Amino acid sequence: MGGPVRIMRHRGVGHLVMAGDTGNALDHDMRRALMQGLDSLLSDATLRGIVVAGQGADFSIGLPISDAAIQGGAPSVSEVAARIEQATVPVVSALKGRALGAGFELALACHRRVATPTARFGMAQVKLGLVPGAGGTQRLPRLVGAEMSLSMLLDWRTLPAFAARQSGLIDALANQTPEEAAEEIILQMRRDDEQLVSTAQRRDGFADGRSYFEAIKARRAALANSPLNAPKRIVECIEAAITLPFEVGLAFEAEALSDCAAHPQSAALCHIAAAEAEAAERLFATGQNGRRALDPDTTGRIALRLGRALEEATKHLLTLGVTEERIDIALVDFGFAKGYFGGDAAGPVGRDTVAIQRRIVAAMLAEGARLVSSGAIQSSGDVDVIAVHSLGFPRWRGGPMLAARVMGLLQIRKDMERWARESPIWAPPPLLAQAIRYAGGFAALDRLPA
């Protein structure tokens, strides 16, 4: 079988090897090929088991950002995971490199997991304003309980192989290739005539119910004042794992994913993640600590101009009689960690709050549009990335260019035409008129051919 999945047989064991172009992402072609491969292998009455593996450096980096919210159409990763879990022969995942997001959820659905010592695991769908959508919130806590599950899901924690082995998340570390180790596990299970136990049937992580519910209570309290939607839904899903039957828990997770996907925070977070990926080589550099950050030589001047627009807007608000305190309250309410004048505590929100926020976003939008039009920067997405990383613009708002679209570009332009009589910082840029013509706003302009 060609395409994104290769099928092999060795010693009576079938091998499904994901062979995608980029980290074995679970795009539609990959999911369809996996399902077809499973159906083909499981139709063989002589089959002793299946190894699921990834070609190249990684097992799978999960769903593409564009598919994360909608699960990308049938077959979904959830359906592929269910097909694995319902297999009547052992299915073992052979893990190496990265097993992330829906890729890790696929591994969780297997009967056993074996990994190389350098493998790493994580589910950071919360970074996109989403909950896992392929059973991750229901299978993970069955293996490791609530505390570790919440840490992995909410703290963007990537777990190294040795820690995963100690927690019981994986069953063995491979001394040889993970494919060989997985195959040997299958053959040993068959020699021992071992009864298959799916992850859905496991209850190891539920053994200490008191600690389980205490972990949920602690996270819920910590998130009580958070403006973020997805983390709270993840806590609910982890609670559902222990209180609801497995299939009902899956339905609960699916509903939570649907709700999160419809929330504007997810659209903003997906927008920023996609913009970061598109601009990775253009705007980012690797520092001496090995971490990726904005390249100051490339982005410093842009950040300075965007910051100056924010400064000019705040100064003009002061001339209109708006106090420093009211400006800071509006910025903190909008999602900035602190206000422009140093205020870091939320205060009483008044009728002026939204007006202040609109003026500040509009000023940054105008400067961002001028930067794009002049060729100083390549796209509106770059403006949003720099604003988020350099100026503390709230990530879950998506950057000033997207935030303006959420506010309504047509109305923003009308407001700017009025405000421009007070100060040229709000003069509507020509690019705004172009963006108004498209449902996708500035992002749609970014996608137009040069």
Domain that holds residue 112: 5-262
The pLDDT value recorded for residue 72 is 62
Q: Same domain for 154 and 254?
A: yes
Q: Same domain for 307 and 258?
A: no
Cα–Cα distance, 164 to 170 (Å, whole number): 6
For the whole model, what pTM was predicted? 0.93
Q: Same domain for 253 and 346?
A: no
Cα–Cα distance, 233 to 227 (Å, whole number): 12
Terminal Cα-to-Cα distance of the chain (whole angstroms): 39
Q: Same domain for 17 and 145?
A: yes
Q: Same domain for 342 and 250?
A: no
Q: Same domain for 178 and 67?
A: yes
* Residues 444, 449, 450: CA angle, nearest 5 degrees: 115
Inter-helix orientation angle 380-391/296-319, to 10°: 80
Q: Last residue of some domain: 262, 281, 312?
A: 262
* Contact partners, residue 349, CB within 8 Å, separation at least 6: 329, 333
Question: pLDDT of 4-38, one tens digit each?
Answer: 999 999 999 999 999 988 899 999 999 999 999 99
Cα–Cα distance, 156 to 395 (Å, whole number): 15
* Residues 370, 303, 376: CA angle, nearest 5 degrees: 40
Q: How many CA atoms lie within 13 A of 148 on its CB side?
A: 20
- When divided into structural domains, the chain yields a total of 2
Cα–Cα distance, 409 to 422 (Å, whole number): 20
Q: Same domain for 311 and 409?
A: yes
The pLDDT value recorded for residue 1 is 44
CA 432 to chain centroid = 29
253: closest CA among 221, 243, 155, 67? 243
Please say whether the beta carbons of 364 and 309 come within 8 A. Answer: yes
Q: Same domain for 170 and 317?
A: no
pLDDT in tens, the chain (450 residues): 458 999 999 999 999 999 988 899 999 999 999 999 999 999 999 999 999 999 999 999 999 988 877 766 789 999 999 999 999 999 999 999 999 999 999 999 999 999 999 999 999 999 999 999 999 999 999 999 999 999 999 998 899 999 999 999 999 999 889 999 999 999 999 999 999 999 999 999 999 999 999 999 999 999 999 999 999 999 999 999 999 999 999 999 999 999 999 999 999 999 999 999 999 999 999 887 878 899 999 999 999 999 999 999 999 999 999 999 999 999 999 999 999 998 776 678 888 999 999 999 999 999 999 999 999 999 999 999 999 999 999 999 999 999 999 999 999 999 999 999 999 999 999 999 999 999 889 988 888 876
Q: Same domain for 391 and 318?
A: yes
Q: Same domain for 291 and 214?
A: no
Q: Same domain for 223 and 353?
A: no
CATH of the domain at 373: 1.10.1040.50
Q: Same domain for 112 and 246?
A: yes
